[in-house]
Amino acid sequence: MRFVPQVFLCLLPIYVFAQDYVQPKLLQNADQVYEENIRTVSLKPYLDPYGLPIIKLGGIDKLRLDFDEIGMEYSNYSYTVLHCNHDWSTSNLLKAEYINGLQDYYIQNYEFSINTYIPYTHYSLTIPNENLNLTKSGNYILIVYQNDDRSDPIITRRFMVYEEEVIVAGDVVRATRIDERDTKQQLNFMINHSGYDIPNPFLDLNVTVLQNGRWDNALIGLKPKFLRNNQLDYNFDGENTFNGGNEFRNFDTKQLTELTLNIRKTVLDTCYTAYLVPESPRNSSNYSFLEDIDGRFVVRRLNSDNPESEGDYAWVNFFLQTEKVNSGKVYVFGELSDWRVKPRFELHYDEQTRAYRGQVLLKQGYYNYQYVVLPNNATVADETELEGSHWETRNEYSILVYHREIGIRYDKLIAIKQIFERPYR
C-alpha cells in the first residue's frame, strides 16, 4: 500500500531553491540535475555502493543508476550515452562507433515509495545492458531525458570505461615542500608501458588525478617529468599535491523514530525533521582519525531489504557554531551535493545563535560531508578554512591514463590505478 499524507506542506521549501538547477536546460558534460523534484541521484558499480563509476571495457561489471522523483506520479524517462575526450569535451565519434545496440532506450525499472511521509517514484537502470553495450574506452556521460526529447534532460552523470594496456604504480606521501609538509599530500607515480607503444607521451598522453572522486579539484592533463626504459616518471615537487583536508563528518538517519549517529532530535509533523548535533570548526585542532567513506553516502533504512523504495525523506538541519565568515559563503559539501557548491546546500548565519544554519531534504541513509567556504569571486570550494588540512588524512586517489593514438579520433582510457593507503612521511 502506498501511504500519501499531507505532503505538499512539507515539500513547499523545495521550490524555493529552483535556482539550484540549470535554467535554461543547457546540457552539461558534468554531474548535474536539471529538475528540482529529482533527488538522491547515484551512479555506482552494481556491487559496490562506495565505488566510483568505473567499469572495464568488455568486462562483466555494470554500473547502476538510481534516482527519485518526488511526487505521486510516474514519468516516462529515456537514456543515452555520450562519449567524451579526456577533458570532458565531446569527442568526434559518432554514436554508432561506440554503442553496440540501441542508442536510446526507456528506463523500465521503477517502483513507488512504500509507507513514506514524502511520496516518490524510484527509478533504476544498469549499464551496459542487453539493449546498450559500449565498444570504446574513455569518458562517458549518461544522459537521462524526458518527453522523448534529448534537449530536455533531467540528469547527466559522468562515468569511465577503461582498458588495461599499461601498469601504474604510485604512493601518497607527505608533501616535500617545507611550507606544505603539515597540510598537503603528494602523489608520486610511475607508468610502465612495456609492450604498449607510446611514441610521444608528452603529446599523446594525458593523465588525470582525482581525490575522493571529486572533479572540481582534479589535476588534469599531467605530463611526465622523465622518460626512461618504457617508464614514465610523474614524481614532481608541487604539481601533484592536494590539500590533505580532514576526515569527513557523518550522520546516520537509518532510523527516524530513534536517535542514531550524530542525530540529537527528530520531529514528525507532516514529514520528518532531523536535527544534527551542534558542531564547530576543526581548523585549529590536531589531526584525529575518524572512520569515513571519503565523502560519499549510501541509502539505507533499518530493517528494510529495499531502502530504495522504503526509505523516507527528512529535512536534515545543520548547525555550525562559529564566528561569521567574511571571506565567502558557507556550504554543506560532499557526494550528497554532487561535489559542488549548490544554493540549497548553503548555510546562513544566525546572529542570535552565532551559528551557520540550514536544512536539506535528504533520503534516509549514512552520509559523509564537510563544511566548505566558497571564497568571494571563486569557483572552487575551500575545505580548509573550516575543516583544517592535515597531511595524515586518509584519502582515496584515482589515476586515469588517457592515450590519443596516432590516427584515431578519441582518447582511450588505458589504465586506472586507485590508491587507498594512508600517506607516509
Q: Model confidence over 233-262: pLDDT tens digits?
A: 999 887 899 999 999 999 999 999 999 999
Q: Is 204 helix (H, G, I), strand (E, B) or coil?
A: helix
- What pLDDT does 239 receive? 83
Report whether 234 contacts 205 (CB < 8 A). Answer: no
Q: Which residue has the higher pLDDT, 156 or 12?
A: 156
For the cut 90, the answer to whether the pLDDT of residue 33 exceeds it is yes
> Mean pLDDT throughout 410-415?
97
- What pLDDT does 23 receive? 58
How confident is the model over 312-326, as pLDDT tens digits?
Answer: 999 999 999 999 999
How confident is the model over 363-396, as pLDDT tens digits?
Answer: 999 999 999 999 998 888 999 999 999 999 999 9
For the cut 70, the answer to whether the pLDDT of residue 22 exceeds it is no
- How confident is the prediction for the chain on average, in pLDDT? 92
Q: Which domains does the chain have, with CATH numbers?
A: 7-162 (2.60.40.10), 167-244+393-419 (2.60.40), 249-387 (no CATH)
User: Most distant CA pair in the chain: distance in Å?
Assistant: 69
Quick one: which of 41, 31, 53 has its CA closest to 127? 53
> Mean pLDDT throughout 177-192?
94
pLDDT band at residue 6 under the 50/70/90 scheme: very low
For the cut 90, the answer to whether the pLDDT of residue 16 exceeds it is no
pLDDT band at residue 24 under the 50/70/90 scheme: low
- What pLDDT does 9 receive? 47
Please write down the HEC assignment for all residues of 59-97: CCCCEEEEEEEECCCCCCEEEEEEEECCCCCECCCCHHH
- What pLDDT does 175 receive? 93
- What pLDDT does 21 receive? 60
Quick one: which of 421, 369, 393, 370 has its CA closest to 183? 393
For the cut 70, the answer to whether the pLDDT of residue 269 exceeds it is yes
- H helix or E strand, kind and range, residue 7: helix 7-11
Phi-psi region of 284 (alpha: psi -120 to 50; beta: other; left: phi over 0): alpha
Find how far residue 166's CA is from the centre of its chain: 26
- H helix or E strand, kind and range, residue 11: helix 7-11
How confident is the model over 57-84, as pLDDT tens digits?
Answer: 999 999 999 999 999 989 999 999 999 9
Question: How close are the terminal C-alpha atoms of the chain, in Å?
Answer: 58
For the cut 80, the answer to whether the pLDDT of residue 424 exceeds it is no
Q: Name the pTM for this structure.
A: 0.93
